[in-house]
Amino acid sequence: MNIAFYTLGCKLNYAETSQLQAQFERGGHTVVEFGTPADAVIVNTCTVTETADRECRQVIRRALRVSPDAFVAVTGCYAQLQPEEIATIEGVDAVFGAKEKFAIADMVQQFEKFDTPKIYVSELSDDLEFVEAQSGESDSRTRAFLKIQDGCNYNCSFCTIPLARGSSRAMPFGRIAEKLRELKQAGYHEVVLSGINLGDYHAPSGERFADVVRMIDQLQPRLRVRISSIEPNLLTPEIVDITSQSHVFVPHFHIPLQSGSPAILRMMRRRYKASGYGDLVHSIKKAMPHCAIGVDVIVGFPGETDELFEETFSFLHSLPITYLHVFNYSERENTPAAIYEGKVPPTVKKARIHRLRTLSTMKKHEFYRSQCGTEHIVIPEERNAETGMWSGWTENYVRVEFPASAAMLQTPVSVLLGEHMGDVVQGVIVGTAVDKPREHAAYIPIL
Ligand code: SF4
């Protein structure tokens, strides 16, 4: 049978879709590209925002236009939270919840359409099992996302993820080193440690996230390791200290702030203060002046007056951060914030988003200019067939393009950064990673 997949939402969802694909392939099925005729279609959904819900409906309709007789299964966060709503979408045969997600391949063998949609969604208990997942980015095998943590025990007032994914759980500590070796052997040069609340990693044997970071640093797995988003209260001085001296971890953090207003942070039930966040950013930059720091911000949270928004804006303006991911606050059912007063009109939200995105571009270009004349290791990822230029990312998350031969793929090179043109820095190759073994121990090939 031919089976197509579509993934919405975060990198973790992509990693889990890869896991599902592997299960179906082991069962003798063929994974085909979404949008081509298929016997079955599986949509892995997200529900972080209203747009994600809408997108899910559109995807199902698109799938059915190409393959009207295909068996359609929907899973993921939206499926866990709104199974009945999904079951009403025409053509949907089955809805699978978070607990059932990795049993789909066993539960659905024949892909025969049902007369009425079936719902396989159970309540999430506290003893959910951790299921491994990993995914590669494009076909280039340069970067893999490795899920080492899932679920969340926090209760941010705007977020449905703990309801959709259940409580925090983690990959066994000893398994992480094995997975890194497997990924290295599969040809990856970079691994992004991923999780829903990654910093809350807590192994069944008691190790915490700082232990993971120390273990990987000592392991020297011959690939570079990036930490995906980490909550500011969980990014401890110990983690900053290890990464600042590491030849394995890259100088790049993504730290959600959500708001720079102490009043809004309290209403969001976040577990840190804006002042503490500022201290953290400064301490990182002191230890690693070249470190890139990305920030998530939510705009238009209920009660965000002009004055409180200005607090966020000037706070971010004052910080040595590199870029922002700006999100429009989206009211989610069953969250405390859904009944908060002080809804922000869409036009006001739009104007605030625009201001923050402009600030983000300014910060990013400022950072790019600060890196001009410095040398970085880049893993060539894509080649523009028209210009012949390769592009990739530095360790500190600068998008760079440089001229090189077509055979460059997957050979880490040392690139001298020049001026930026928009969001891309122009560079030239000045050597290979192996030329600089001491600074770039992570890239020395296994002999
Ligand atoms: S930390 Fe907060 S925002 Fe992040 S997943 Fe947990 S509840 Fe949601």
Q: What's the whole-model pTM score?
A: 0.92
How do the domains of the chain map onto residue ranges?
Answer: 2-120, 134-370, 375-443
Closest by alpha carbon to 175, among 116, 131, 237, 210? 131
**Measured from the CA of 270, which atom of ligand 1 is nearest?**
2
* Sheet order of strands, 143-147 included: 134-136, 143-147, 190-194, 224-227
Q: What is the pLDDT of residue 197?
A: 97
374 and 399 Cβ atoms separated by less than 8 Å: no
CB 156 less than 6 A from any atom of ligand 1: yes
Neighbouring CB atoms inside 10 A of 12's CB total 21
* Sheet order of strands, 252-254 included: 252-254, 292-299, 323-328
As a whole number, mean pLDDT of residues 301-322 equals 98
Chain centroid, CA 33 distance in Å: 22
CB 335 less than 6 A from any atom of ligand 1: no
CATH fourth-level superfamily of 134-370: tm_1862 like domain (3.80.30.20)
What fold characterizes domain 375-443? OB fold (Dihydrolipoamide Acetyltransferase, E2P) (2.40.50)
- What is the distance between the alpha carbons of residues 305 and 299, in angstroms, rounded to a whole number? 11
Q: What is the pLDDT of residue 57?
A: 85
Cα 206 to middle of ligand 1, angstroms: 22
**Measured from the CA of 196, which atom of ligand 1 is nearest?**
5
Q: How far apart are the first and last CA of the chain?
A: 42
Instruction: Tell me the H-state helices in 67-208.
Output: 77-81, 83-87, 104-107, 161-165, 173-185
175, 181, 184, 186: CA torsion to nearest 10: -80
Cα 9 to middle of ligand 1, angstroms: 15
CA distances from 210 to 217, 237, 242, 409 (A): 11, 10, 9, 33
- pLDDT by residue (tens digit) across 174-217? 999 999 999 998 889 899 999 999 999 999 999 999 999 999 99
CATH 3.40.50.12160 is the classification of domain 2-120: yes
As a whole number, mean pLDDT of residues 396-425 equals 89
Ligand 1 pocket mutation pick from 13, 197, 229, 295 by most atoms within 8 angstroms of CB: 197
Q: What is the pLDDT of residue 446?
A: 42
Residue nearest atom 1 in ligand 1 by C-alpha distance: 154
The owner of tokens 């691994």 is: 191
Cβ neighbourhood burial of 36 (10 Å; 0-12, 13-18, 19+): exposed
34 and 21 Cβ atoms separated by less than 8 Å: no
SS3 content of the chain, % helix, strand, coil (to 5): 35, 25, 40
Q: What is the mean pLDDT of the chain?
A: 91
The single-letter DSSP state of residue 331 is -
Q: Is the pLDDT of residue 48 over 90?
A: no
CA distances from 321 to 91, 156, 263 (A): 46, 23, 22
- What is the distance between the alpha carbons of residues 232 and 224, in angstroms, rounded to a whole number? 22
Residue nearest atom 8 in ligand 1 by C-alpha distance: 159
**Torsion sign across C-alpha atoms 24, 163, 196, 300:** positive
Q: What is the pLDDT of residue 444?
A: 55
CB 159 less than 6 A from any atom of ligand 1: yes
Q: Is the pLDDT of residue 120 over 90?
A: yes
CB 258 less than 6 A from any atom of ligand 1: no
Bridge partners (DSSP) of residue 252 are 292
**Measured from the CA of 155, which atom of ligand 1 is nearest?**
7
Ligand 1 pocket mutation pick from 11, 12, 124, 152 by most atoms within 8 angstroms of CB: 152
- pLDDT by residue (tens digit) across 206-246? 999 999 999 999 998 889 999 999 999 999 999 999 999 99
CB 10 less than 6 A from any atom of ligand 1: no
CB 161 less than 6 A from any atom of ligand 1: yes
- What is the distance between the alpha carbons of residues 51 and 330, in angstroms, rounded to a whole number? 9
CB 255 less than 6 A from any atom of ligand 1: no
Query: Which comes out higher in pLDDT, residue 220 or 52?
Result: 220
As a whole number, mean pLDDT of residues 11-21 equals 91
- pLDDT by residue (tens digit) across 150-175? 999 999 999 999 999 999 999 999 99
Q: Is the pLDDT of residue 52 over 90?
A: no
CA distances from 237 to 251, 272, 280 (A): 14, 15, 8
Q: Is the pLDDT of residue 145 over 90?
A: yes
Say if strands 292-299 and 323-328 run parallel, antiparallel, or are unpaired: parallel
Q: What is the pLDDT of residue 66?
A: 92
Cα 265 to middle of ligand 1, angstroms: 13
Confidence of residue 322 (pLDDT cuts 50, 70, 90): very high
